[in-house]
Amino acid sequence: MLKGLPDIRKQLHRHAELAHGERQTAAYVAQVLREAGVEQIREGIGGHGLLATIDSGRPGLGLMFRAELDALPIDETISMPHASHNDGVAHKCGHDGHMAILIGLAHWLREHPPARGKVYLLFQPAEETGEGAEKMLEDHKLSGLAPDYTFAIHNLPGFPLHSVLLRPGVFAAGSAGLIIRLTGNTAHAAHPEQGRSPAPAVASLIPALGELPGRVLQTGRFGLATVIHVRIGDPAFGTTPGRATIMATLRAWEPEDLELLRGEAVDLARKTAAAHGLAFEHEWTEVFHPTVNSHDAVEIARKAASGLSAVPETRDMEHPFSWSEDFGRFTARYPGALIGLGAGEDHSHLHDTRYDFPDEILDTGIRLFAGIIEQCGLF
């Protein structure tokens, strides 16, 4: 491992920034890449994204490796020297570690330059909101990019340290955020019958949304509807509510199942609103495609992992993960694979306020990516 790589990771952690605001993070990444000898860097792609290119100048495969720039709106509750300086913002998903792995790979490639082909190091903004990948792919600054394969690592607490987790086909679920708005009419709290409160409709919709996947999906198909926020009226004891908002996240492994859930959820909400005499509006946000791994890319990663002594096991996952990843936008465009890297069976879980990326797996991530480059014949 590059001697100062944990320090780079901790510097990224100190200055965590939210989606669409990763300006300082991107500037720091570009700086350390240039210090690693990378000369070709495109910046400001799809927001604050950047792409670094290591070009051998000779024909060969093009391989793209992705990391994420953004952090989460979560408080830092653990005391440590590299705690986030930004209140309410912290790297509780390990994106600081994923960036450090790519930076470490850039240093490794300076010592082991590819003999053929190209290596692209892509740093994506706004992963947590499911917007950054699409914005990068639509940006003209990324025009002409056509890698033969694309890869990314995600650290996974709950699995043995340094273990590699693979799955061809769907690796992580697709998801979509649904916002439902119901409008009735306020009245004096002493005369609720004179108004049209959305409270009964909300009370009906909360369990109905949760039961929706089991009702509309075929037996054995995974689906989940989680109500994550509800607001009814305003805190005024003299007034019955006239407005309500329900926010829910819908998840499914298969794209067609997610689309079915989306349509059924809107239909359910619309009918419920009509039954209670309420106006109805809805919108979608933070839509993630399922992350689908290509068989060939998974086998390349498997061979690379098999050559690493630090990897205690390579595990094939029976089922996809229920969380979502914006990397699915890239694997829908290019053959690729999202690879799980065990962060420790007892490590704090992702999005936990107590989480911090385990520096022990930085070197494993770098060597896994280097092994993929070797398996693809760039040396």
What pLDDT was estimated at residue 8?
97
Q: Which structure tokens are listed for 332?
A: 């829908």
Do residues 104 and 139 share a domain? yes
What integer is the mean pLDDT of 165-192?
97
Query: What pLDDT score was predicted for residue 68?
Result: 98
pLDDT for position 244: 98
Mean pLDDT of 154-176: 97
Contacts of 255 (CB under 8 A, 6+ apart): 174, 289, 290
Are 201 and 153 members of one domain? no
CA atoms within 13 A on the CB side of 224: 14
Same domain for 36 and 140, yes or no, is yes
Model confidence at 3: pLDDT above 70: yes
Mean pLDDT of the chain: 96
What pLDDT sits at residue 298? 98
Confidence of residue 274 (pLDDT cuts 50, 70, 90): very high
With beta carbons less than 8 A apart as the criterion, state whether 252 and 287 touch.
Answer: no
Q: What is the mean pLDDT of residues 290-315?
A: 96
Does residue 254 sit in the same domain as residue 365? no
Give the integer Cα–Cα distance in Å for 120 and 333.
15
Domain boundary among 259, 288, 317: 288
142 and 240 assigned to the same domain: no
- What type of residue sits at position 181? R
**Which of 361, 374, 379, 364 minimizes the C-alpha distance to 300?**
374
182-195 average pLDDT score: 96
CATH number for the domain spanning 264: value is 3.30.70.360
| Same structural domain, 15 and 120 | yes
pLDDT (mean) for 297-318:
96
| 230 and 209, same domain (yes or no) | yes
Number of domains in the chain: 2
Residue 2 confidence (pLDDT): 74
Provide the CATH number for the domain around residue 58.
Answer: 3.40.630.10
What does the pLDDT look like over 122-151, one tens digit per residue? 999 999 999 999 999 999 999 889 999 999
Structure token pair of residue 319 = 């089922």
- pTM of structure: 0.93
Residue ending a domain, among 288, 307, 328, is 288
Q: Are residues 336 and 197 in the same domain?
A: no
Q: 3-state SS of the chain?
A: CCCCHHHHHHHHHHCCCCCCCCHHHHHHHHHHHHHCCCCEEEEEECCCEEEEEEECCCCCCEEEEEEECCCECCCCCCCCCCCCCCCCCECCCCHHHHHHHHHHHHHHHHHCCCCCCEEEEEEECCCCCCCHHHHHHHCHHHCCCCCCEEEEEEEECCCCCCCEEECCEEEECEEEEEEEEEECECEECCCHHHCECCHHHHHHHHHHHHHHHHHHCCCCCCEEEEEEEEEECCCCCCEECCEEEEEEEEEECCHHHHHHHHHHHHHHHHHHHHHCCCEEEEEEEEEECCEEECHHHHHHHHHHHHCCCCCCCEEECCCCECCCCCCHHHHHHCCEEEEEEECCCCCCCCCCCCCCCCHHHHHHHHHHHHHHHHHCCCC
φ and ψ of 226, to 5 deg: -120, 115
Last residue of a domain, one of 253, 288, 323: 288
The boundaries of the domain holding residue 242 are 178-288
Dump pLDDT digits (tens) for 325-362.
999 999 999 999 999 999 999 999 999 999 999 999 99
Residue 1's pLDDT is 61
Same domain, 237 and 364: no
For residues 306 and 337, state if they share a domain: yes
Do residue 156 and residue 303 come from a single domain?
Answer: yes
For the segment 212-234, what is each residue's pLDDT rounded down to a tens digit?
999 999 998 999 999 999 999 99
Mean pLDDT of 66-85: 96
Predicted confidence at residue 70, as pLDDT, reads 98
**162 in the same domain as 50:** yes
pLDDT, position 359: 97
